[in-house]
Structure 1
Amino acid sequence: MTHFVGIDVSLETSCVCIVDASGRVVRELIAESEPEVLATALLDTKLDFSRVGLEAGPMSQWLHAGLAQVGLPAVLIETRRLRAAPKTMPIKTDRNDARAIAQVVRTGWFRAVHVKSVLSQELRGLLGARKLLVGKVRDLDNAVRALLRSFGLKMGQIGERAFAERARELVEGRAALQTVLAPLLEARAALLAQRDRLHRMVLMAVRSDPICRRLMTVPGVGPVTALTFCSAVDDPNRFTRSRAVGAHFGLTPRRYQSGETDRTGHISKQGDALARQALYEAANVLLTRTQRWSALKAWGITLAKRAGMRRAKVAVARKLAVVLHRMWRDGTEFRWSRGATAA
């Protein structure tokens, strides 16, 4: 008889529930959240497993790889689809969550999450680390501005490299402020150095990737956007239609339809937030900074006149996702004519 497994993953230990084809709980156990330990615990039961389900999360891909390596039919379950199942339980416990996951896996009422390659996960880690340092530099800049502003000292519009020198000029002759400001500027300089180091690593990764270089022929798409898109999609063949990529990144409107009610709302903002942000920034560059005209820019500018620039940028971001995916699958360059937006 075939069996189904639900695993509720925690940092230290995971709850495991095994059910049969009728939904009856056959066995429950707790094991360490290590691939080898979980695999051994399941294999020692001597049962035949049809599916082993894990909720998508920070540790899930690592555990999935370890379970799949020993031949277990592991699947990652999309969190949004799984969210409703545990709510049917009157009491929220890890044991009940594992039971709910097992029943969802048994019935097939779930959507499997794509498991990214190790390379894509590593690139995503690089991009995430770079974004973190970019944010920390911005936070320090804002903190310095706020500190000086409270004493009537205004930084004004200043470039990134001249920021520290301008701050020192403003506090010249004020020993107390100099003492407070010096550690902040030293920390900022260290963050800038490490951010630039990570950015150079991004440029090196793009330089050695022909796909990223081809995607950068699209106006507005730079190294960060190209690498973010490639690491987020991972395998272009998992999307049968290029139009589905925009929805995958949460760039299509929500819709609520029930009876006489039919409302279309803002974009769903589901999926990879880092890729969605990169596409939006690329759309902003395309519409506001790129000098050369293309069919895509003309379409976006026309939409901006009718619906506003903000909505136009979101729409162009969705179009960019479609175009980039089609270029990746077809192996083509960006076409500045109307054919570039036909996919």
Structure 2
Amino acid sequence: MKLTTVGIDLAKNVFQVHGVDERGQPVLRKQLKRDQVASFFAVLEPCLIGMEACGSAHHWARKLQGFGHTIKLMAPQFVKPYVKTNKNDVADAEAICEAVARPNMRFVPIKTTEQQGVLAMHRARQGFVKARTAQANSIRGLLGEFGIVIAQGISHITERLPGILEDGENGLPGAFRQLIQRLGDHLKELDRQVVQLEREIQQWHRGNEDSCRLAQIPGVGPITASALVASVGDAKSFASGRQIAAWLGLVPRQHSSGGKSTLLGISKRGDCYLRTLMVHGARAVVRYAESKTDLSADWLKGLLGRRNTNVAVVAQANKNARIAWALLAHNCRFRPDYTPDVTGV
């Protein structure tokens, strides 16, 4: 029988493969070592291959696409309901094979090496920012044990630390001064790494047309724009701006039954990093809304008059996500004076 659909349970070293024919009957159950995967699929007739969107999934998707196969990536939470009884590699591969053939399954776009490279810079920057914050809090906490209180904010630490170390009357032991000096140097190095990565991200942003167009949206800067472009890829994989807003977790959760719609709090699904960037950008827009006079500011002012500020911030982030989808999907530029044509509606 001809093999038509294959599910691969990805791993570091041992990959489990499950394949079915056109009638859905299992015809392949095989375990492959990592160095056997490419050679095995290179001689296999082109078929539909499903994988979970996990570590190394995009690499293997690009690799197997080069052999003529059709690759579909799925979020692991959408595959889990198809796992029967106990969880193991064989059951996972069978579940992936069954899930990829469902007509209503949602798939993850395959990222290019350039997209993954940009997202790697974003992840590294995010890690350095977290480490910088942790180091600053550590310095503040250690000095607090000796009665030296520094206000919140990394800038306050960098400003006051040299004076604290030079002050011979604050009662700090010599060994402790050396420790704080070492921690301060580490904080400066972390800050230097953050600044350097931001420069590299902005350099990539200036060379990417889509990212530059997104940066014209109020509340979307080079960091947010580059992260959106690299994460979304082909915007046409989303049917509408509503889908991308839901993908970012900027819509309410729903718990409806019996024809009665019940909306709960914001879902916060999807990429936490992207959602954080969108919300913080929207917060800046809300902050200066009172001084603006354009049409979008009128909408935001009206919303602020009716609802809480945090609600308005998330609503603005939702709106920015929809605008970003429209610019990417229709290859157009942002127009602050744009009004939708509702003639005949």
Distance in 2 of aligned mates of 1:332 and 1:136: 38
Q: Which amino acid aligns with 1:6?
A: G
1:197 counterpart = 2:196: yes
Deviations 1:196-230 (A, max 9, x none): 11111112112222332232222222111111121
Aligned to 1:91: 86
Indicate conservation of the 8 Å contact 1:319/1:341, yes or no. no
Aligned to 2:58: 61
Q: Which amino acid aligns with 1:28?
A: R
Deviations 1:70-126 (A, max 9, x none): 11222212322112112xx22211111112212223454632211122222211111
The alpha carbon displacement at 1:280 in A equals 0.7
Indicate conservation of the 8 Å contact 1:19/1:25, yes or no. yes
Aligned counterpart for 1:142 among listed residues 129, 137, 145 = 137
Aligned to 1:310: 310
**CA separation of 1:107/1:319 partners in 2, compared to 1, >3 Å: closer, same or farther?**
closer
Identity of aligned residues (%): 26
**CA separation of 1:249/1:94 partners in 2, compared to 1, >3 Å: closer, same or farther?**
same
The alpha carbon displacement at 1:166 in A equals 0.7
Q: Which amino acid aligns with 2:105?
A: F
**CA separation of 1:210/1:111 partners in 2, compared to 1, >3 Å: closer, same or farther?**
closer
Aligned to 1:284: 283
1:9 counterpart = 2:4: no
1:79-158 pair list within 5 angstroms:
79-86=76-83, 89-108=84-103, 110-157=105-152
Distance in 1 of aligned mates of 2:333 and 2:105: 37
Distance in 2 of aligned mates of 1:339 and 1:73: 41
Distance in 2 of aligned mates of 1:227 and 1:192: 21
Comparing 332-341 with 276-285, greater Cα deviation is found at 332-341
Q: Which amino acid aligns with 1:318?
A: N
1:70 counterpart = 2:71: no
Distance in 2 of aligned mates of 1:104 and 1:221: 36
3-state SS, counterpart of residue 110 of structure 1: coil
Indicate conservation of the 8 Å contact 2:7/2:96, yes or no. yes
Aligned to 1:221: 220
Indicate conservation of the 8 Å contact 2:244/2:325, yes or no. yes
1:301 counterpart = 2:298: no
Q: Which structure 2 residue ranges, 5 or more long, are not aligned?
A: none
**CA separation of 1:322/1:256 partners in 2, compared to 1, >3 Å: closer, same or farther?**
same
Distance in 1 of aligned mates of 2:175 and 2:237: 60
**CA separation of 1:293/1:150 partners in 2, compared to 1, >3 Å: closer, same or farther?**
farther
Q: Which structure 1 residue ranges, 5 or more long, are not aligned?
A: none
Indicate conservation of the 8 Å contact 1:54/1:76, yes or no. yes
Indicate conservation of the 8 Å contact 2:219/2:278, yes or no. no
Indicate conservation of the 8 Å contact 1:301/1:312, yes or no. no
Q: Which amino acid aligns with 2:150?
A: M
The alpha carbon displacement at 1:300 in A equals 2.6
The alpha carbon displacement at 1:273 in A equals 2.4
1:24-43 pair list within 5 angstroms:
24-33=25-34, 37-43=36-42
The alpha carbon displacement at 1:49 in A equals 5.3
**CA separation of 1:275/1:294 partners in 2, compared to 1, >3 Å: closer, same or farther?**
farther
Aligned to 1:167: 161
Aligned to 1:247: 246
**CA separation of 1:300/1:150 partners in 2, compared to 1, >3 Å: closer, same or farther?**
farther
Indicate conservation of the 8 Å contact 2:41/2:64, yes or no. no
Distance in 1 of aligned mates of 2:341 and 2:13: 49
Distance in 1 of aligned mates of 2:207 and 2:241: 25
Indicate conservation of the 8 Å contact 2:133/2:154, yes or no. no
3-state SS, counterpart of residue 257 of structure 1: coil
Q: Which amino acid aligns with 2:132?
A: V
3-state SS, counterpart of residue 255 of structure 2: strand
Indicate conservation of the 8 Å contact 2:249/2:266, yes or no. yes
The alpha carbon displacement at 1:287 in A equals 0.8
The alpha carbon displacement at 1:323 in A equals 1.4
1:262-273 pair list within 5 angstroms:
262-273=261-272
Q: What is the count of residue pairs matched by the alignment?
A: 335
